[in-house]
């Protein structure tokens, strides 16, 4: 069994997670839990436990250098040859990894989502299908503001500062240009039913062993 890997990229709060989990949950119900897995690029933020909190807060989390993409590629390669991996866990409240990892076994279908997946050429080479969420930036900002304040205990001021200083500039420099590498561009967010059905059909076509 050689897994197929589906990459879903796009701006922060563009609907990547909603699309990923909708496809994951629907295919899990149709094909069985043993046939599909989901990964998140955020798990591969670099470990910053050696830094104090003030320096962690200053990190540009929307730049490619914030990620340990070499570890992500290594894990994808391990999964492709049938070996399990220990995925890091990241805590947004303390801006670093925890001491825990999550064991992930190979599956016929692996969905991975993250803002910078299509920026990295080495990652792109391992994707069987690449998807880009094309959502208006004002919608993304409103969603991010709500999420970060409710789920990550951020203040309004800190969210706005991060968005204006790094999130939006890095989107314009790295994320948006990576759209050119997508096989499928999805407008209207993660609830786009036509896109969901099309992607599911594509996955089934690429992975006949799931049928």
Mean pLDDT of 62-73: 98
- Write down the pLDDT at residue 153: 86
DSSP the chain: ---EEEEEEESTTSSHHHHHHHHHHHHHHHH-GGGEEEEEGGGGBPP-TTS-HHHHHHS-TTSGGGB-HHHHHHHHHHHHTT--EEEEEEETTTTEEEEEEEEE---SEEEEE-TTTTT-HHHHTT-SEEEEEE--HHHHHHHHHHHHHHHS---HHHHHHHIIIIIHHHIIIIIGGGGGG-SEEEESGGG-HHHHHHHHHHHHHH-GGG-
How many domains would you assign to the chain? 1
- Checking if the pLDDT of 189 tops 90, the result is no
- Range of 137's domain? 4-210
The mean pLDDT of 54-70, rounded to a whole number, is: 96
What is the reported pTM? Answer: 0.93
Question: With bands split at pLDDT 50, 70 and 90, how would you rate the model's confidence at 208?
Answer: low
Instruction: For 20-41, write each residue's pLDDT tens digit.
Output: 999 999 999 998 989 999 999 9
Looking at residue 210, its pLDDT comes to: 57
Look at residue 207 in the predicted model and tell me its pLDDT.
80
What CATH number does residue 134 fall under?
3.40.50.300
Confidence bin at 2 (pLDDT 50/70/90)? confident
């Amino acid at each position: 069994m050689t897994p197929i890997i589906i990459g879903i990229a796009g701006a922060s709060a563009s609907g990547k997670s909603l699309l990923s989990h909708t496809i994951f949950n629907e295919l899990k119900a149709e094909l069985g839990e043993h046939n599909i897995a989901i990964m998140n690029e955020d798990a591969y933020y670099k470990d910053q436990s050696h830094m104090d909190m003030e320096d962690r807060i200053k990190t540009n989390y929307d730049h490619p250098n914030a990620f340990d993409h070499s570890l992500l590629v290594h894990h994808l390669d391990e999964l492709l040859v049938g070996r399990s991996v220990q995925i890091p866990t990241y805590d947004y409240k303390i801006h670093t990894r925890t001491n825990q990892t999550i064991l992930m076994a190979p599956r016929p279908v692996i969905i991975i989502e993250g803002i910078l997946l299509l920026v990295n050429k080495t990652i792109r080479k391992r994707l069987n299908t690449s998807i880009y969420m094309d959502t208006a930036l004002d919608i993304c900002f409103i969603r991010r503001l709500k999420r970060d304040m409710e789920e990550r205990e951020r203040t309004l001021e800190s969210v706005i500062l991060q968005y204006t200083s790094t999130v939006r500039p890095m989107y314009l420099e790295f994320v948006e240009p990576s759209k050119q590498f997508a096989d499928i561009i999805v407008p209207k967010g993660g609830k786009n039913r036509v896109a969901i059905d099309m992607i599911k059909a594509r996955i089934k076509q690429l992975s006949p062993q799931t049928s």
